Chains A and B, each alone.
Chain A
């Protein structure tokens, strides 16, 4: 239709795309398989799913590979893909107690209710770069099989776990009471339970469909943090511990768990819940010592964090920030900071947009720089000639808008 096709830009874009695609596909090593990424880069794939807010290990691995290992970019690919997917059904509410733990630690007690289950973690492994020579992969695979590597079978949560034994000998499918309930029994925590029988059970705030701003319910805040950028939450947490923001004080972790959550859906014919699959999730509870004016020093308050996949840093930071925002009660800026500045797509997108052409705006800025100089030159001229400022006329002194 147009008399001149906008060619220059298009050619450059196509060339850039081609470069990326060819570089991704070329190289001397074999192309990474989706299954390899899911198995060998489990935490990266989990992070992509967490920040995308979507449990889809295969797609996340695909996105991660397409993004050449850029987690934020991969999360963007996954989220943009998910945006318009039809919603077939909503799961019914799952109590966190229904999580089958693959790993569970409770720093607050030596012998908490339920197990201390170290599970798959490198927390207590020396951080020594493994420089042993590359063995043929078949030998490594043998080793993996013979040692019944803990938790390895659980990398694909929707697969083997639903059928039976998720984590080798790690505690099996048992669930157990959480520390929070013990603290409740001891009357050591502020009771935040809702009276569901009385109808106090609002629908969670859907941040994928509704905009978020300060004053939204806690469910919106939790949803924002659940898919926030891990680094952003960790940094915000640390700022509040060491920096001048001062929203966090003495925090003890009640519960850190990584495990399997069932996805129950109401069957359209029977009307009864049917578990259609399981996802792995990480959750944490942060016990905050209430300090400050008007706080109940005889009790603790507990913040909650949960995210898709295995990402303990994120869940812990989230639980801490959750209770910090709750206690700040909108007085400071923490709520706005948590809600508005922690999303990776927002922050990275805006930062990267600086790379777009800005020559019109820059021309406008240059024009003003010159205008300031001209005004300054003018003023110097005026000061040489003009008399001191005239006395204010009566109308001005009377205090009426002129």
Chain B
């Protein structure tokens, strides 16, 4: 699916639940918001978020985007924490596939739309793929300001001094910048954006990417986007390098190196690590087996 597809209507099958999970009028509403978001990278576009059959906070924003852009020819992959088999991913996938004519896959390279919570696949995405991210908290400045009118002003005037100060204080107090996931990034040199809670490890994958990334916050009713080939720069001082999570080990299943190749998660108390991206991990093992055979 290409960016152009956003402009086109995409019919969907009726699953018998009223007129489907989302009607065509709503899809058009959301696609309009998506186009605004693509036109102004990193800017949070308010949109008329609808109630979904999943709770707000459970991917209702990502689900609305996916349903608004998915068509019969699409192949959809849904992951949570990098895992296709996660309960939330499974639930969303069956809603999407069950209410549209799209096919499903777990193979990153085969998917035309990848909806995700908390991860970007390890395998670089291509220009005909769209990444849809579920966003719990779209406001990157909430840690330094709560008043929504003031937040609007700060974004409008490119006034990010207080974010910088929070990084300064963090570094002074802790010796390092302790921000974890959802690291604030400057998009296209203009808007600071919350990178959902993807780990810092994934932030560089957004920078000058081949693919389109769409971010949906259903509860907070915001949509934003990083178009292909856009600068995504983690906000940090010139002399304080941005640090991603690096795991001091290898994946117990596929041998991927946590320092350079894959975001690994720890099996508690075992000094054992495994890939969080299950498809990436499985693919590496498959390749190994072929080589050995």
Interface residues of A (CB under 8 A from B): 1-10, 12-13, 76, 79-86, 208-215, 330, 333, 336, 340, 345-346, 348-353, 356-361, 363-368, 371-372, 374-376, 378-379
Distance, CA A8 to CA B82, complexed state (A): 14
22 A-B pairs within 8 Å (CB atoms) are namely A4-B106, A81-B18, A83-B50, A83-B51, A84-B19, A84-B22, A84-B26, A86-B23, A211-B49, A212-B221, A333-B147, A345-B56, A346-B56, A357-B81, A357-B88, A359-B276, A360-B197, A361-B180, A363-B245, A365-B180, A367-B245, A375-B175
Binding site of B, secondary structure by majority: helix, strand, loop or mixed?
A: loop
Which B residues between 119 and 165 are near A, CB-CB below 8 angstroms?
Answer: 119, 136, 146-149
The residue on B at minimum CB distance from A376 is B175
Given the interface pairs A6-B85, A372-B174, the reply to whether A360 lies near B118 with Cβ below 8 Å is yes
Are A76 and B51 touching (Cβ within 8 A)?
yes
Interfacial chain A residues near B56, Cβ < 8 Å? 345-346, 349-350
Besides A9-B86, A360-B118, 5 other A-B contacts (C-beta < 8 A): A3-B282, A10-B94, A86-B19, A345-B55, A372-B175
Interface string of B10-21 (1 = CB under 8 A from A): 000000001111
Return chain A residues, CB-CB under 8 Å to B241.
none
Q: Is the CB of A360 within 8 A of B119?
A: yes
The answer to the question of B87 belonging to the interface, with a C-beta cut-off of 8 Å to chain A, is: yes
Known: A363-B245, A364-B200, A368-B180. A80 touches B110 (CB 8 A): no
Complex Cα–Cα for A85 and B25 (A): 11
- B29 interface residue (CB < 8 Å to A): yes
Chain B residues within an 8 Å CB radius of A6:
83-85, 89-90, 93, 106
CB contact list, B175-214 vs A, under 8 A? 175-176, 178-181, 197-201
CB contacts (< 8 Å) of B264 on chain A: these are 363
A324 to B188: give the CA distance in the assembly, Å. 42
CA distance A364 to B276 in the complex (A): 12
Question: Are B175 and A378 neighbours in the complex by a CB distance under 8 Å?
Answer: yes
Q: Are B148 and A353 in contact (CB under 8 A)?
A: no
A214 CA / B149 CA spacing, docked (Å): 7
Contact yes or no, A361 B89, CB < 8 A = no
**Interface residues as binary, B70-83 with A (CB distance below 8 Å gives 1, 0 otherwise):** 00000100001111
With A360-B119, A368-B176 known as contacts, the answer to whether A346 contacts B90 (CB < 8 A) is no
- List B contacts of A371 (CB < 8 A): 176, 178, 243
Report B24-60 residues with CB < 8 Å from chain A CB. Answer: 26, 29, 46-53, 55-58, 60
Q: Is B2 an interface residue (CB 8 A)?
A: no
Task: Identify the closest chain A residue to B202 (Cβ).
Answer: A360
The interface residues of chain A, by DSSP majority, are classed as helix
Whether a CB of chain A sits under 8 angstroms from the CB of B1 is no
Q: Is B107 an interface residue (CB 8 A)?
A: yes
- CA gap between A379 and B106 in the complex, in Å: 46
B91 contacts chain A at the CB level, 8 A cutoff? yes
Instruction: Flag if A1 contacts B105 (CB, 8 Å).
Output: yes
Bound-state CA distance A330–B104 (Å) is 48
**Are the CB atoms of A85 and B18 closer together than 8 Å?**
yes
Which listed residue, B47, B176, B199, touches A360 by the CB 8 Å rule?
B199
B266 within 8 A of A: yes
The answer to whether A80 touches B53 (Cβ under 8 A) is yes
A12–B87 CB distance below 8 A = yes
Contact of A352 with B57 at beta-carbon distance under 8 Å, contacts A6-B85, A12-B87, A84-B20 already known: yes
CB-nearest residue of chain B to A371:
B176
Are B80 and A356 interface neighbours, CB within 8 A?
Answer: yes
Tell yes or no: B280 within 8 A of A by CB.
Answer: no
Q: Does B103 contact A (CB under 8 A)?
A: yes
Residues of B within 8 A of A374 (CB): 176
Report yes or no: B175 in contact with A349, Cβ–Cβ below 8 A: no
CB of B263 within 8 Å of the partner chain: yes
The answer on a CB contact under 8 Å between B110 and A1 is yes
Instruction: For the complex formed, measure the closest distance between the CB of B181 and the CB atoms of chain A, giving whole angstroms.
Output: 5
CB atoms of B82 and A353 under 8 A apart:
no
Tell me, rounded to whole Å, the shortest Cβ–Cβ distance linking A380 to chain B: 10
B235 contacts the other chain (CB 8 A):
no
Partner of A80, one of B52, B81, B263: B52
In the complex, how many angstroms separate the beta carbon of A261 from the nearest chain B beta carbon? 24
A209 to B87 CA separation, bound complex (whole angstroms): 30
Q: Which residue in chain B gives the minimum CB-CB distance to A5?
A: B106
> CA A367 – CA B118 in complex, angstroms?
16
Please provide the 8 A-B residue pairs with the shortest distance between their CB atoms, ordered closest to farther: A375-B175, A353-B57, A349-B56, A9-B90, A349-B55, A2-B106, A6-B85, A211-B46
- Given the complex, which residues of B lie within 8 Å of A330, measured CB to CB? 149
Shortest distance from the beta carbon of B143 to any chain A beta carbon, whole Å: 15
Q: Is B250 an interface residue (CB 8 A)?
A: no
Q: For the complex, what is the distance from the CA of A306 to the CA of B47, rounded to whole Å?
A: 26
The answer to whether B199 touches A13 (Cβ under 8 A) is: no
Name the residue on A nearest B179 (C-beta).
A368
Q: Are A213 and B46 in contact (CB under 8 A)?
A: yes
A352 surroundings in chain B (CB, below 8 A): 55, 57-58
CA distance A122 to B176 in the complex (A): 61
Question: Cα distance A85–B84 when bound, in Å?
Answer: 32
